[in-house]
Amino acid sequence: MSLTPEIVTILMFGGVFLAVLTGFPFALGLGTVGFVIGTLLFGLPGTLELYYTRIFAQLTNYTLLAVPLFVFMGNMLERSGITEKLFDTLYILLGRLRGGLAIATVLMGTILAACVGVIAASVTALALLALGPMIRRGYDKALASGTVCAAGTLGILIPPSIMLVVYGPAAGISVGKLFFGAFFPGFLLAFLYCLYIFIYCLINKEAGPAIPLEEVKHIPAMVKLKMLLVSLLPPTILILAVLGSIFFGIAPPTEAAAVGALAATLLAVFYRRFSWNVLKGVAIDTIRLSGMVFLILSMATAFVGVFLKAGCGDVVGEFILKAPGGKWGVFIIIMLIAFFLGMLIDWLGIVLLLVPIVTPIAVKVGFDPIWFAMMICVNLQTSFLTPPFAYAIFFLKGTAPPELGIETNHIIRGVIPFIILILVALALCMAFPQIVLWLPNRMFGG
């Protein structure tokens, strides 16, 4: 049988999905399928050379050094004690509002997203900090669970996001511009989440009751203001140090990530949370997560190298370009592919497999590459909430204390409205592209 590009496309995608469905590690599945097909097409020496060239180019990409640095920053910040103080303040300020604790959870998730950018850390922190107080105050379990999952996944979009650090080199786009293109879409999502919670709790008064007045009435307004300023100051300094240096062209993302890692360490020292055991734990977690990212990155880039060299990229491009409806038909097809892939495989695999193939198609039909990148990234917010491959659901279920009585069906019912809100945000960014493009167009430098 002749291995035409069409047949190779089916074999490569089919092989990857088979590996995923049988529980084979995703990175090894990619590498194995690519290697076997490459050997059949180009011979063993040609495949080895292709693998070596592409993997070496990725692992020596200077921009990707930001991945372990941002992971280190997030892990160290999580241990610094800032998150507990900040949530305690938001709890006091918003607790008297119906749904106030859920809104405080979203705001907390937004601030964590701008400081941490690691989904596992954000969802776990919010589950430990916010889920218990909400359930004990009589909050609907589905609302509380959905809020924690949705708020905890904002870090994959709001900078400094590891997704954007990986996306930039994969698409040949400035990571700095991606960072600032993601700001307003990320804040738009947070706003929509808060608006939904507020309206839902107005209609369903028992879903998010206010905390008793006795808990907060003895705290003067000036004390509350001081608590807010003190708790917001450290994350604000960290955000300005990292993102401000990128926006004003002082430093590229890699150097900014190093500044952030140092600043997070100094904050841990300042709050007396720094120790040898903390440093050791942060370093081990950083190595573990970064190693996973770079393993998938290496295997995916090798897989894509074989895929493109075999002419499969042209096959996929022709298929997508034949979609009815012109450029918007092409866009909808790509969005549907990304959405359904998000149910089955990790976001990292989607970015590394899909982005190198569809970005040239998007540019060819006339879409701005920064705007198109943000559409993919907003879309992939759903991948953390849509079963069966829903990271946030599993993180929350594994972290939630058993005595709270949180079941998987509570979490799934809770995330459905937030999935719909993500699609609403996607539609708004389509209708108003400047939500994405306004800030990158005002950056100093690239």
231-260: per-residue pLDDT in tens?
Answer: 677 777 777 777 777 777 777 778 888 888
Whether residue 205 lies inside any domain: the answer is yes
Q: Would you say residue 39 lies in a domain?
A: no
Confidence class for position 117, pLDDT limits 50, 70, 90: low
Task: Kindly report the three-state secondary structure assignment for every residue of 356-373.
Answer: HHHHHHHHHCCCCHHHHH
- What pLDDT was estimated at residue 274? 86
Number of domains within the chain: 1
343 domain residue, yes or no: yes
Look at residue 93 and tell me if it is in a domain: yes
**Alpha helix locations (H) across 127-252?**
132-136, 141-152, 162-171, 175-203, 221-239, 245-247
> Which residue intervals of 310-407 are DSSP H helices?
312-321, 326-342, 347-364, 369-380, 391-399
Per residue in 61-71, pLDDT (tens digit) is: 887 888 888 88
State the pLDDT at residue 116. 67
> What is the Cα–Cα distance from 14 to 434, expressed in whole angstroms?
38
Note whether 414 and 147 are within 8 A (CB): yes
* Cα–Cα separations (whole angstroms), residue 326 to 295, 331, 339, 364, 366: 37, 9, 20, 12, 11
Inform me whether the pLDDT recorded for 143 exceeds 80.
yes
Residue 215 has pLDDT above 70, yes or no: no
Contact 71, 33 (CB under 8 A): no
> Is the Cβ–Cβ distance between 139 and 204 less than 8 Å?
no
Please report whether residue 298 resides in a domain.
no
Cα of first residue to Cα of last residue in the chain, in angstroms, is 49
Q: Is residue 95 part of a domain?
A: yes
3-state secondary structure of 104: helix
Average pLDDT of the residues of the chain: 84
Q: Please indicate, yes or no, if residue 324 is contained in any of the structural domains.
A: yes
Other C-beta atoms closer than 10 Å to the C-beta of 242 total: 30
Share of the chain above pLDDT 90, in %: 23
363 domain-assigned: yes
3-state secondary structure of 225: helix
Quote the domain boundaries for residue 184: 66-292+313-442
Q: Quote the pTM value.
A: 0.82
The pLDDT of residue 190 is 94
